[in-house]
Amino acid sequence: MTRVPLLIVGTAVLIAQPCRLPSLGNNRNYPGLTESRFCAPAKLPVQNGTAQILFDDSGSMRGYQSAVPALALWSEQALSQVRQYGMEWTKTRGCYFSKARPLNSCASPRLSPNGFRGAASTTLNQAIDSAEQHDLTLIFTDGAGATGEAVGDCSSGVDAACVSRAMARSLTPRPGELQGAGGGIWLIPLIATYDGPFYTEQPLDLSRFDAEAITQRVAAETSTNARVRDPKRDATGLVYYSYHGPRAFLALVLARNATVGRAFVAALVARRKFSQIQALDALKSYQSGLTAMPPIEIFPGAAAPATFVRSRLLEPVCRTLDARFQAPSQLWINCANQRDEAVVRLDAKPEPSSSDCVGILQLPKLSSELKIAGDARLIRDFSWSGSMTDPAKPLALSMILSCSKNWPLAKGKCQPAVWELQRDFPGTAAALVSAKPLTPGLTIMQSLSASEVASVPHRIFQLRETLEKFYRNTQNPSGAREFSRVDLCRP
């Protein structure tokens, strides 16, 4: 006789218990903020443009001579692939540059594989400045300019600040360009076996020169060995030595239009294998040959937009809320009661595997922010999951949708919920000199850069310092960029 009342009490307790939705986790930042996948459009926004391929012909590049033919072929292949997006290259040029070979005297339509000399001082800042007059520029260089004497606004010796200023100037809008189009800068780190003179750019004490310590450092940070011998002083008293071993350098891409730049970067990645350039994930993995690491966006910093294709109402649903997705962005929500709540998951459209697409690491410090009208209380919480680059982990957005008596939507109306991209260039500058790498792009930069390279010839001289100064002297692009949108609608 006592079982029935107990059942009644138990049922009453269950009815009184509040409905509990599952936790969404705490990932409110968009997954594509450190690496994103970009796909070239069928037709680029610029249909007629000029392009230049420039190769640093200074003495510090002499040991890369064997790699020049492959790099010349690579650049030509990439320019050709971009034509499939409706781009007509009205004028191209391929030039070697140094103090002995000024760019203003170069008019060759393509880079000659046999034209490399590897002599004289670099004029890297002038090469970057020339990008302002071309829609697309690709520069092969070993990094910060080192000149024998002061040139323009550059001091003698290595001047990272001078190079960073040239990078910033390359982004200055030209008369006649569309407002808001915006250019971009990308780096593809390259590593090859170098065989030639290595210029330390320092007046070292030759009596303390330790070739064995240098070779041990190279072996510890790569998967190959090096040979160091014959340290000497040049005419200015700076030390150089003969070096045979791995060494990093850069493919620097500058574009007047960021979409054109990313399409060209995708083409470089797609034509890498044909040009006998191997893929490399980390400096430590380098063994031999000419290799290319993942491309890194320096400016402006972007996230590929999320395009949703379907919605799912996750269990349990608190009371009777219903949601139905209508492409491309409308989510129709039916609230029968004021306390209806549910978790709705939106699945994004995965990008296809294609040579038109490329995964790009983002160097700028990026964050995402939800923008919705202040009186709207439809989204109580949200969380991103998945990946922009891994097909096995598709991108998704989960939201707790909450109805109330103050629900702001009239029947048949929609309320936009917009996720915007925020850029933090001062924060990026600080992260570049931090001892703790935070993102894949920063990790690569820190592994490749060195404030002095006499003891680490496989690294790039003052790469971090150059980029730090660039971010400290370049303003964030104006205006927030929308990368995802959901229109919350009431049927």
pLDDT in tens, 241-266: 999 999 999 999 999 999 999 999 99
Q: Is residue 198 located within the same domain as residue 286? A: yes
Q: Is residue 414 located within the same domain as residue 446? A: no
Whether 10 maps to a domain, the answer reads: no
What is the average pLDDT across 112-125?
Answer: 93
Query: Contact 295/269 with Cβ under 8 angstroms?
Result: yes
| Burial profile 172-181: b = 16 or more Cβ within 10 angstroms, e = fewer | eeeeeeeeee
pLDDT at 13 > cutoff 70:
no
Residues recorded for the chain: 491
CA-based Rg of the chain, rounded to a whole angstrom? 28
What is the average pLDDT across 98-112?
Answer: 94
Q: Is residue 389 located within the same domain as residue 477? A: no
Whether 15 maps to a domain, the answer reads: no
SS3 assignment, position 419: strand
Q: Is residue 286 located within the same domain as residue 334? A: no
**Residue 78's pLDDT is what?**
98
Residue 179 confidence class, pLDDT cut points 50, 70, 90 = low
Q: Is residue 376 located within the same domain as residue 308? A: yes
Structure confidence by residue, pLDDT tens digits, 128-166? 999 999 999 999 999 865 444 445 555 554 567 888 888
Tracing tokens 């002038």 back to the chain, one arrives at 126
Residues contacting residue 189 through CB under 8 Å, at least 6 positions apart: 248, 249, 250, 251, 292, 293, 296, 444, 448, 460
Q: Where in the sequence is the domain holding 364, given as residue range(s)?
A: 20-31+304-423+482-489
Whether 198 maps to a domain, the answer reads: yes
**Residue 7's pLDDT is what?**
32
Whether 13 maps to a domain, the answer reads: no
- CA distance linking residue 28 with residue 207, whole number of Å: 57
Q: Is residue 59 located within the same domain as residue 181? A: yes
Q: Is residue 359 located within the same domain as residue 265? A: no
Q: Which residue has the higher pLDDT, 123 or 388?
A: 123
Q: Which two tokens stand for residue 441?
A: 């792009």
Whether 11 maps to a domain, the answer reads: no
Q: Is residue 283 located within the same domain as residue 167? A: yes
What is the average pLDDT across 51-78?
Answer: 97
**Residue 375's pLDDT is what?**
62
Closest CA to 243 of 220, 280, 217: 217
Look up residue 83 and give its amino acid: R
**Residue 268's pLDDT is what?**
98
Task: Find which of 144-158, 279-293, 463-477 is predicted with most confidence, using mean pLDDT.
Answer: 279-293
SS3 assignment, position 326: strand
**Total domain count, the chain:** 2
What is the average pLDDT across 434-448?
Answer: 90
Whether 5 maps to a domain, the answer reads: no
Query: Contact 130/137 with Cβ under 8 angstroms?
Result: yes
Query: Contact 412/361 with Cβ under 8 angstroms?
Result: no
Q: Is residue 103 located within the same domain as residue 147? A: yes
Q: Is residue 273 located within the same domain as residue 392? A: no
pTM of the predicted structure, to 2 decimals: 0.91
What is the average pLDDT across 169-196?
Answer: 85
Residue 478 confidence class, pLDDT cut points 50, 70, 90 = low
What are the backbone angles phi and psi of residue 209, rounded to the nearest 5°? -65, 125
Whether 7 maps to a domain, the answer reads: no
- Mean confidence (pLDDT) of the chain: 88
Instruction: Please give the C-alpha separations between residue 234 and each of 112, 202, 203, 210, 459, in angstroms, as whole numbers.
Output: 30, 10, 10, 19, 21
Whether 352 maps to a domain, the answer reads: yes
Q: Is residue 25 located within the same domain as residue 49? A: no
> Lowest-pLDDT range, 47-61, 64-78, 469-483?
469-483
Q: Is residue 65 located within the same domain as residue 145? A: yes
